[in-house]
């Protein structure tokens, strides 16, 4: 029997850029607002929405690009979305971000569900690049106050370190892309006692290396992991989606 899709998640919403903040050297936070957000579910902060971009060559076609819901404020009908800044025209989202202004409108669909972190774990291990910082930030804010664990974030420069709200015993570690190997950085950390919940999101090739490390070397069960690629170097989102689906079907523990 087919599961009915909630119409709240299917329909398009119009949103308008209200504020643009540069929160680090290579990341912008856009605040959007519109009355279409009146029924946006607060429970899915940390999930994703898809921004809809028109095909540059065929205005009858659209492309959807997923981004994490960083914050939602029902009282003011405002939603925050963080974007990694890319120089030049690297795609629909990047070119739009480089020229966006207050008052600009765009449509979104969603939200898609937030990937839940098991709070029953003994400790937590989060790994991600800059595309994953919004989702990891939300997850850290939702952890129990007595949670402990490790976070490794790969950033583009030292100027991309931002202050994260987290439990006291969560250790944040920043590594610079091009200066270090993400898998090596993860491998070098002392393993804590007990069974962790592992959360990983980054570029596809790095994700596969990290997945093998946690699955094979550390023998983490699939039920104690969320591992995903958010993008693939050299591929657009449509190509990455196909690659990701094929890889997921082959991932057998």
- Does residue 130 sit in the same domain as residue 223? yes
Tokens (6 digits) for 63? 């492309």
Mean pLDDT of all residues in 109-121: 87
Last residue of a domain, one of 111, 135, 158: 111
Residue with more model confidence, 93 or 34: 34
Strand locations in the chain (E): 13-24, 27-33, 48-54, 62-68, 71-73, 78-84, 105-112, 123-128, 148-155, 169-176, 196-203, 225-231
Report how far apart the first and last C-alpha atoms of the chain are (Å, whole number): 28
> The domain containing residue 136 runs over which residues?
123-250
- Does residue 184 sit in the same domain as residue 83? no
Mean pLDDT of all residues in 238-249: 82
**pLDDT, position 88:** 59
pTM above 0.75, yes or no: yes
- Does residue 153 sit in the same domain as residue 230? yes
pLDDT for residue 54 is more than 90 = no
Q: Which CATH number goes with the domain that contains 25?
A: 2.40.30.10
- Does residue 45 sit in the same domain as residue 127? no
- Does residue 62 sit in the same domain as residue 97? yes
Mean pLDDT of all residues in 8-13: 72
In which band, very low, low, confident or very high, does the pLDDT at 212 lie, cut at 50, 70 and 90?
A: very high
Q: How does pLDDT run across 141-182, given as a tens digit for each residue?
A: 999 999 999 999 999 999 999 999 999 999 999 999 876 789
């Amino acid at each position: 029997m087919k599961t009915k899709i909630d119409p709240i998640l299917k329909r398009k919403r119009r949103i308008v850029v209200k504020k643009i903040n540069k929160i680090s050297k290579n990341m912008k936070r856009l605040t959007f607002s519109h009355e279409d957000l009146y029924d946006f579910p607060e429970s899915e902060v940390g999930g994703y929405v898809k921004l809809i971009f028109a095909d540059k060559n065929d205005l009858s076609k659209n492309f959807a690009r997923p981004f994490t819901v960083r914050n939602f404020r029902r009282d003011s009908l405002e939603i925050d979305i963080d974007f990694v800044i890319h120089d030049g025209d690297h795609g629909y989202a990047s070119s739009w971000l480089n020229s966006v202004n207050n008052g600009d409108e765009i449509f979104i669909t969603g939200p898609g569900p937030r990937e839940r972190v098991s709070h029953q774990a003994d400790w937590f291990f989060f790994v991600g690049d800059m595309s994953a910082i919004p989702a990891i930030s939300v997850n850290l804010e939702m952890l129990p106050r007595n949670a402990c664990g490790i976070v490794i974030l790969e950033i583009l420069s030292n100027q991309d370190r931002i202050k994260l709200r987290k439990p006291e015993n969560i250790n944040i570690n920043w590594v610079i892309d091009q200066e270090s190997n993400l898998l090596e950085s993860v491998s070098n950390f002392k393993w804590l006692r007990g069974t962790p919940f592992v959360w990983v999101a980054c570029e596809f090739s790095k994700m596969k290396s990290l997945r093998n490390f946690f699955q094979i070397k550390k023998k983490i069960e699939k039920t104690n992991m969320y591992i995903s690629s958010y993008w693939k170097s050299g591929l657009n989102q449509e190509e990455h989606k196909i690659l990701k689906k094929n890889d997921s079907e082959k991932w057998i523990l």
